[in-house]
C-alpha cells in the first residue's frame, strides 16, 4: 500500500509539473510581441522637409519615434503592403544626430538607427528647374486642368509631366498644401509622359491639393497648380438619395 501511495504521488507531481510548463509556454506565446526591424535608411543625413525611406519588417504595425518624439502621421507614408517600407518626411528639428525607432501597439520595439538632420543653410539645394536645363522636372499637372480643377475620389484623371533629360524614375504623389500629408499614386514612372491615375479614397475632401512629381532620390521635384478634391460619385449618390428620402418622409 505504501509503495502504491508513493508511486501515485510521484505520478501526480510529474503531471503538475507538466501542466505548469505547458501553461508557462502558452503564456509566453500569448504575450509574444511582434518583431519590428529597421534594416536601412535611403539616406543617412537629410534636411527638414525631405522624404527618407525606411526599410525593414513589420513597420506598418508600429509608430515611429525620432528621439523620444512620436512622429505625426502627416509626416509618414506607409507604402509597403507588408510593412517593409515607410517614407518619413524629416521634421523641422534642431540640427544634430537623432535615433529612429518604431514602437508597436503591443509594446514591441525595433532596433535604433541614426539619422543626421542638417541645418537648411548647409544643404546644397538643386537649381530651380527650367525648360533649358535638362535633368529637372519642369511641369506636372492634370491634363485638362484649365477646364476642370476638381478631382473626385475613386475617379481617374490623366496626369501629364515633363522632365527632359532626367533618367531617374519618378514618383507621383497627391499632397495637401496645408497639412503636407501626401499619398503616393504612381511609382517608377518615365521622365516624360502621361498616366491615367485613380485618386485614392479615404483622403479629406476640399481645396488646396496638388500633384507632386519627384525623383526617387528626392533631389528633384515639381508641383502642379492647386485643385479641389470632391467626394466619390458613389458617396454623393447615396447622400442625395438619403436627402431625398428624408425630405419625402412625413413629419
Same fold: 37-122 with 139-231? yes
CATH number for region 139-231: 2.60.40.1930
Mean pLDDT of the chain: 73
Q: What is the pTM of this model?
A: 0.42
pLDDT recorded at residue 48: 84
Q: Which fold does the domain 37-122 belong to in CATH?
A: Immunoglobulin-like (2.60.40)
Segment 5-11 shows an average pLDDT of 57
Domain extent listing, the chain? 37-122, 139-231
Cell reading at 45: 543625413
pLDDT recorded at residue 137: 54
Q: Which of 41-55, 105-119, 129-143, 158-172 shows the lowest mean pLDDT across its residues? A: 129-143
Collapsing DSSP to helix, strand or coil, 212 comes out as: strand
Question: Partners of 66 in the beta sheet?
Answer: 69, 100
pLDDT in tens, 27-72: 434 445 678 999 999 999 988 888 899 999 988 878 899 988 888 8
Amino acid at each position: 500500500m505504501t509503495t502504491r501511495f508513493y508511486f501515485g504521488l510521484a505520478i501526480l507531481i510529474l503531471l503538475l509539473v507538466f501542466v505548469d510548463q505547458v501553461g508557462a509556454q502558452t503564456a509566453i506565446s500569448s504575450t509574444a510581441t511582434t518583431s519590428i526591424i529597421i534594416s536601412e535608411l535611403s539616406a543617412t543625413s537629410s534636411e527638414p522637409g525631405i522624404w527618407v525611406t525606411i526599410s525593414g519588417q513589420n513597420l506598418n504595425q508600429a509608430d515611429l519615434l525620432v528621439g523620444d518624439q512620436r512622429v505625426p502621421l502627416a509626416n509618414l507614408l506607409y507604402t509597403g503592403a507588408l510593412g517593409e517600407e515607410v517614407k518619413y518626411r524629416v521634421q523641422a528639428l534642431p540640427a544634430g544626430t537623432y535615433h529612429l525607432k518604431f514602437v508597436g501597439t503591443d509594446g514591441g520595439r525595433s532596433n535604433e538607427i541614426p539619422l543626421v538632420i542638417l541645418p537648411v543653410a548647409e544643404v546644397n539645394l538643386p537649381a530651380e528647374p527650367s525648360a533649358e536645363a535638362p535633368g529637372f522636372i519642369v511641369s506636372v499637372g492634370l491634363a485638362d486642368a484649365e477646364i476642370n480643377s476638381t478631382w473626385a475620389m475613386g475617379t481617374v484623371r490623366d496626369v501629364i509631366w515633363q522632365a527632359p533629360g532626367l533618367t531617374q524614375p519618378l514618383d507621383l504623389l497627391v499632397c495637401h498644401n496645408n497639412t503636407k500629408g501626401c499619398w503616393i499614386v504612381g511609382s517608377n514612372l518615365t521622365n516624360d509622359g502621361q498616366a491615367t491615375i485613380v485618386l485614392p479614397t479615404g483622403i479629406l475632401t476640399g481645396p488646396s491639393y496638388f500633384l507632386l512629381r519627384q525623383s526617387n532620390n528626392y533631389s528633384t521635384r515639381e508641383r502642379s497648380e492647386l485643385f479641389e478634391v470632391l467626394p466619390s460619385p458613389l458617396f454623393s449618390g447615396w447622400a442625395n438619395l438619403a436627402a431625398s428620402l428624408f425630405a419625402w418622409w412625413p413629419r
